[in-house]
Amino acid sequence: MADTLELETVEYVVTDAVASIALNRPEKYNAFNMQVHQDLTKALKHAERDRSVRAVLLTGRGRGFCAGQDLTEFSMSRADPDFRVDEHVRRTFNRIIHTIRGLELPVIAAINGVAAGAGWSLALAADIRIASDGASFTQAFSKIGLIPDTGSTWFLPELIGTSRTLQLMFTGDAIDAKTALEWGLVNEIVAADVLDEHAHAYAARLAAMPTRALGLTKRAVYRATTVGLDDALEYEAQLQQHAAATSDHVEGVTAFLEKRAAEFTGR
Ligand code: T3D
């Protein structure tokens, strides 16, 4: 499959088995208009189908990571009497979140700047978040009379509990990268000028690991947050059966016994 895709608002390139997907509407802080929805969905689906891709890196170009829904387009949609927000959200934002969570690959968000509204939800959908020291985060929704969507009502309480979640959602106040790290909302912070390189190296490291095992791990961990221990134990056993059938499993054990570094292929 192609290592690059020609898209209007999203850059897509594969290197070192990492699909780097960058939102590219810098003048609008990468806000979601319909073109971004379409292009991001296409890029994620392409990565999902490409067997050579073993990790996904999500970032934004310019000063923002993503400012959520484009409010200019939003005002136009509100002028259309037939426009239904619920249908729009299901077809666009929700589809993207489902795709990211369903990808059986590590997804790393490199948060290069402000993440607002659904843009923050997008970052929260990733498995690992690395923020630049200049990044900031705001729920933003309450400031325009909306409720948080695109998964924020699920992601945030999961990570920081209900009280801090509601504080952020009610006020719409921004938090900086340092606070996000202290609260466990990002995995690490790095200087802005090394973010791309650092995040890519991180993604490439995960891409060189046993992809199937990592994908099944992701599936088991997210499912475990919705079920009891008995169910989680049983599901782990079922997925372990699949992981144990991979060549990477054989290679990992063989390499350990032969006292050498394993060479995983993703199969
Ligand atoms: O119907 C549905 O789709 C429901 C679903 C909703 C999902 C949502 O995401 S709702 C939330 C939408 N997002 C927001 O409300 C955030 C709005 N933006 C802001 O609050 C601020 O811009 C930021 C906190 C993100 C950044 O602030 P600051 O001071 O660093 O930058 P700025 O000057 O406000 O913005 C820079 C430029 O980006 C500016 O353009 P200009 O004036 O230089 O030409 C600004 O208009 C543009 N921009 C920022 N956010 C958006 C945007 N343009 C369109 N839509 C945006 N969301």
Q: How far, in Å, from the CA of 68 to the mean position of ligand 1?
A: 7
Q: Determine the Cα–Cα distance for residues 209 and 202; give it in Å rounded to an integer.
A: 11
Report the range of poorest mean pLDDT among 28-37, 209-218, 255-264: 255-264
Q: What is the CA radius of gyration of the chain?
A: 19
**Which residues are paired to 57 by β-bridges?**
20, 108
pLDDT of 2 strictly over 80:
no
- Which pair of structure tokens corresponds to residue 140? 């933003």
Q: How far apart are CA 54 and CA 40, in angstroms?
A: 18
Our answer on whether the CB atom of 96 is closer than 6 Å to any ligand 1 atom is no
Tell me which of 9-18, 152-161, 168-177, 237-246 is least confident: 237-246
Q: How far is the CA of 204 from the centre of ligand 1 (A)?
A: 32
User: Encoding tokens for residue 169?
Assistant: 């959602």
Asked whether the CA dihedral 93, 50, 14, 262 is positive or negative, the reply is: positive
**Confidence (pLDDT) at 16:** 96
pLDDT level of residue 233 (50, 70, 90 thresholds):
confident
Q: From the CB of 147, is ligand 1 less than 6 Å away?
A: no
> Ligand 1 atom 25: the closest Cα is on which residue?
67
Distance 33 CA to ligand 1 centre (A): 12
173 in contact with ligand 1, CB cutoff 6 A: no
Q: How far is residue 113's CA from residue 196's CA, in Å, rounded to a whole number?
A: 12
Q: Is the pLDDT of residue 33 over 90?
A: yes
Tell me the pLDDT band of 1, cut-offs 50, 70 and 90. low
Q: pLDDT category, 183, cuts 50, 70, 90?
A: very high
Can you give the residue ranges of every domain in the chain? 4-207, 211-257
Distance (Å) of CA 108 to CA 162, 193, 212, 220: 25, 18, 17, 18
Ligand 1 centre to CA of 115 (Å) is 10
Q: In the prediction, which pLDDT does 149 show?
A: 95
pTM above 0.85, yes or no: yes
For ligand 1, whether the C-beta of 146 sits within 6 Å is yes
Residue pair 195/132 in contact (Cβ under 8 Å)? The answer is yes
pLDDT of residue 208: 98
Sign of CA dihedral 67, 73, 75, 77: negative
Fold of 4-207: 2-enoyl-CoA Hydratase; Chain A, domain 1 (3.90.226)
Q: Give just the sign of the alpha carbon dihedral 247, 249, 254, 259.
A: positive
122 lines ligand 1 (CB under 6 A): no
User: In terms of C-beta density within 10 A (0-12 exposed, 13-18 middle, 19 or more buried), how is residue 148 classed?
Assistant: buried
What's the gap in Å between 240 CA and the centre of ligand 1?
44
Atom 52 of ligand 1 has which residue's CA nearest to it? Answer: 28
Over the stretch 213-228, which tens digit does the pLDDT of each residue have? 999 999 999 999 988 8
209 close to ligand 1 (CB < 6 Angstrom) = no
Instruction: Quote the ligand 1 centre to 121 CA distance (angstroms).
Output: 14
Mean pLDDT of 111-117: 98
Q: Give the class (CATH, top level) of 211-257.
A: mainly alpha
Q: Which of 9, 25, 29, 83 to mutate to test the pocket of ligand 1 (most atoms within 8 A of CB)?
A: 29
Reply yes or no on whether the pLDDT at 237 is more than 90.
Answer: no
